[in-house]
């Protein structure tokens, strides 16, 4: 790993594991099936076209649930790092919850969208949304009943990839937290960072599918590993 005092630009990739201790289910754990559906079968445009009621119910349930959850010490530590780190920093989250923001982080980018936005496929407007979509409410902007969750499904292109790739190319340190490394292009960012010369660190409950690409991998709960790592980084 590069000497800590040579680090200025940091990219942090987070996944479902960072929110697990807030009570939000991960996707690929033991209980990762939702009513016998794998996420790969529900989170696709084809599933939405085939059975919109099922997909909207899945998202309505999760949108309601996240609003009852609170950030944990991992989100809080990352928010502290964001506030105190003098160099460039970008938290690229695959999560569609808003727990990084509610902990106070500002430099956050949601590559797989956000539960609390609804996207009108008629007029392309994104509207803040806390209620349900299964009842097919009208778009606040154009009135069309064409709202869908503003999330990125399999086969769709994740958001803001140009910004993500530019930040990764400039990174001195790339840190992956609480993600299985099963879903691309997020899972490929570590290789890109490594090939651009960044030091790479994985913080995860267990070794991820991409663990071999990291210079260092620490195993444990995010609520313990992340605050300890942030303390380490801010004290150098
Ligand atoms: C803890 C913990 C604790 C637990 N502390 N840790 C064949 C090969 C390669 C790629 C493909 C392929 N066929 C198709 C593809 C592409 C496809 C893909 O990757 N498929 C795979 C299944 C193989 N990808 C796409 O389609 C993407 N688009 C795309 O590729 O477009 C083309 C493109 C090309 C080039 C550039 C750009 C684009 C789109 C992917 C969209 C993913 N969407 C979802 C749903 C979002 C909405 C929703 O929430 O419903 O995003 S799927 C789901 O998986 C969600 C997550 O963000 C994503 C990643 O999951 P994550 O976060 O890693 O969670 P888990 O559950 O997998 O892991 C949790 C981890 O935490 C575990 O390791 C635990 O151990 C750990 N953990 N508790 C610390 N307390």
pTM (two decimals): 0.97
- Are residues 121 and 146 in contact, defined by beta-carbon separation less than 8 angstroms? yes
One DSSP character per residue, 30-94 reads TT--BTTB-HHHHSSHHHHHH-HHHHHHHHHHHHHHHTT----HHHHHHHHHHHH--S-EEEEE-
* Distance from chain centroid for Cα 20: 12
Q: Which helix (H) or strand (E) holds 161?
A: helix 161-170
> What pLDDT sits at residue 192?
98
Reduce the DSSP state of residue 188 to 3 states and report it.
Answer: helix
Q: How confident is the model at residue 1 (pLDDT cuts 50, 70, 90)?
A: low
pLDDT, residue 2, reads 47
The answer to whether the CB of 46 is under 6 A from ligand 1 is: no
pLDDT at 54: 93
Answer whether residue 32 shows pLDDT above 70.
no
Residue 110 CB neighbour total at 10 angstroms: 24
Measured over the CA atoms of residue 158, residue 159, residue 165 and residue 171, the dihedral's sign is negative
Q: For the chain, what is the mean pLDDT?
A: 95
Tens digits of per-residue pLDDT, 45-97? 999 999 999 999 999 999 999 999 999 999 999 999 999 999 999 999 999 99
**What are the pLDDT digits (tens) for 100-119?**
999 999 999 999 999 999 99
Which atom, in ligand 1's list, is nearest to the CA of 21?
A: 80
- pLDDT tens per residue, range 109-154: 999 999 999 999 999 999 999 999 999 999 999 999 999 999 999 9
Q: How far is the CA of 187 from the centre of ligand 1 (A)?
A: 7
On the question of pLDDT at 27 being above 70, the answer is yes
| Residue closest to 167 by CA, chosen among 81, 78, 87 | 87
* Cα–Cα dist 185/196, whole Å: 16
206 lines ligand 1 (CB under 6 A): yes
Q: Can you tell me the distance from the alpha carbon of 125 to that of 121, in angstroms, rounded to the nearest whole number? A: 8
Q: In this predicted structure, what is the pLDDT of residue 130?
A: 98
CB 14 less than 6 A from any atom of ligand 1: no
The CA distance from 105 to 87, in Å, is 15
Contacting residues for 71 by C-beta, under 8 A, at least 6 apart: 22, 79, 99, 100, 102, 103
**Can you tell me the mean pLDDT for 24-39?**
78
Candidate from 184, 190, 202, 229 with most ligand 1 atoms within 8 A of CB, to mutate: 184
pLDDT at 5 over 70: no
Query: What are the two backbone dihedrals, phi and then psi, of residue 40, each rounded to the nearest 5 degrees?
Result: -65, -20
Annotated catalytic residue 112 = yes
């Amino acid at each position: 790993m590069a000497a800590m005092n040579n680090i200025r630009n940091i990219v942090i990739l987070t996944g479902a594991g960072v929110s697990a201790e807030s009570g939000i289910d991960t996707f690929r754990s033991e209980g990762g099936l939702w009513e016998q559906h794998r996420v790969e079968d529900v989170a696709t445009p084809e599933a939405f076209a085939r059975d919109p009621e099922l997909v909207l119910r899945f998202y309505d349930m999760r949108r309601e649930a996240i609003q009852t959850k609170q950030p944990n010490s991992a989100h809080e530590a990352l928010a502290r790092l964001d506030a105190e780190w003098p160099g460039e920093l970008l938290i690229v989250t695959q999560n569609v919850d808003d727990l990084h923001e509610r902990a106070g982080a500002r430099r956050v980018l949601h590559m797989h969208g956000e539960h609390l936005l609804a996207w009108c496929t008629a007029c392309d407007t994104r509207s803040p949304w806390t209620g349900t979509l299964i009842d097919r409410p009208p778009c606040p902007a154009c009135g069309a009943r064409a709202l869908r969750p503003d999330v990125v499904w399999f086969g769709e292109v994740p958001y803001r990839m140009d910004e993500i790739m530019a930040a990764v190319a400039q990174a001195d340190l790339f840190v992956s937290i609480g993600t299985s490394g099963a879903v691309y292009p997020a899972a490929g960012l570590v290789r890109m960072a490594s090939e651009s010369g960044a030091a790479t660190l994985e913080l995860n409950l267990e070794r991820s599918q991409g663990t071999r690409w990291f210079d260092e991998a620490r195993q444990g709960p995010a609520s313990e590993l992340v605050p300890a790592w942030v303390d380490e980084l801010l004290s150098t």
